[in-house]
Structure formats: C-alpha cells, structure tokens
Amino acid sequence: MKNFATTLAWMLLCICVAGCAGRDKSRPLTDTQSKAKTTLETQMQAATQTAQTYHAMDNPALLKKLVEQSKVQKEPFNSLAYRELKQRKDVDPESLVALVKQNQDAGGVLPLLLLRKQSNKLYLGVQPAIRAKILTSALQGSKHFNTWGLPNLYLEDASHAMIEAGRPAVPDLKRMLSDTRPAPVFGSQEYMVYEQYKYRLCDYALFFLERIEGHADFQMPKSVAERDTLIKQMAAKK
C-alpha cells in the first residue's frame, strides 16, 4: 500500500516528466512544470527531514508519537512513528502492552497493531474484549478506511486483528449495521473499487461479522440491495 504523500509525489513527478518529454530541451520549463518541480522538491526535502527527525528519536518519544498519531487516525503506513518503531529491534513489547491497556479506544489501535507485529504471543495475551473495544472504536471513528483495506480486494492488519478479536467485537459491530455513512478510501485502485461498491460503514461491519461467524470465503455482493438484505438478516440474529 502506497502512502498518500508518496502517491502525490509520483503524480507531481509524472507531470514534470510528461511535460518535459515532449518539449524542446533548449526551452525553459513552463510555469506549471516549474511549480510542479518546486513542489515535488520541497515535499521530498520535507519528507526526508521528517524521517530523519523520527529516526533520531528514542523509543519513549516515538511511543508517545505513536499514540498521538493513533488518535488522529493515521494509518500504519502513514504513521512515521509506527514505521520507525516497526524496524527497530529494541522496542520492549511490554511497553506496547501498557499503551494498549492505557488507551482502550481508537488511541490504542496503532500500539495494538505494532504489538501484533512485534510479539504475537503478547498480542494474543491481551484480552479479546480489550482488543475488540480498541478496534471497533477505531472502525466507528474512521473517516477514510485505508487502515482496514477493501473487502474482496485485500485486508490490512487491522481487519485481520478485528476478525481475531472474535465474539467480543460482535455487539459493537452489530450496532454499526444501521450506520450507512460512506466508507471512502484514497488511492487510485482503491478508489475505483470504492466507486464500484459504494462501501459504507455498515458493509464493513457486515463483512467482519460474517468472517467472525466462520464464513472465511464470504464475498461482499456488489449490489447495495443484496448487501442490505444480508445486513437485515445479520441484525436479526441473536
């Protein structure tokens, strides 16, 4: 999964390349090409400086940033704290367990997902009810749904964690079955799929409930009417 900043940078680079490929090399860049080139250079410089800043931080500072970025709904692939901590070998997984227990809402989702990467044993040792509460809170509060992936196309770690949480996640997921607000994603391929399915929060809830019930091969119908029928049937189950 490409992060948004990287995608934008490539778009700007393509503008420059496309504009430069067909022009006379002796001619100066047009205003549009020059602005795109400047924007790209500035963005790449800022990204490099920011990455260096995070690389220089110690683990406690990064863990603090991890929670902050979790609370503002940064995706794992867009969280510099998550990306830096994931590649370090000296992160104490017990410190991640502590953060998870201290942040039993959307603020705990990045620590939880990092713990899942760093120590599956300690991750599974966190009570499923706590994991479910964190993940359902994050799902309910999502503005963009790239953290979860796209049903029928691919699933991100957060979706696998939701399914692993199992039955404790069911009550909150069932409450989301009545929430029809859009569940948009960014990214060219992802957005094309979203446009085809018009995914909603209730669709994600349905998908997770089906998988938690053991329907490992469940595929989301393309028709909204078909999905609504399945949602009604799921909501009626006790």
Cross-strand partners of 154: 150
Most confident of 7-21, 43-57, 74-88: 74-88
Alpha-carbon Rg of the chain, whole angstroms?
A: 21
Give the separation between CA 14 and CA 40, rounded to whole angstroms: 10
pLDDT in tens, 115-127: 999 999 999 999 9
CA-wise closest residue to 45 among 78, 4, 84, 5: 5
Tell me the mean pLDDT in the region 16-21: 47
Contact by Cβ (8 Å): 80, 50? yes
Helix (H) or strand (E) holding 149: strand 149-150
Tell me the mean pLDDT in the region 211-232: 97
Locate the domains of the chain by residue range. 55-126, 145-238
Strands 149-150 and 154-155: antiparallel
75-86 burial, b at 16+ Cβ within 10 Å, e below that, comes to bbbbbbbbebbe
Q: What angle do CA 88, 90, 92 make, to 5 degrees?
A: 115
State the chain's mean pLDDT as an integer.
88
Helix (H) or strand (E) holding 155: strand 154-155
pLDDT for 235 beyond 90 = yes
pTM: 0.81
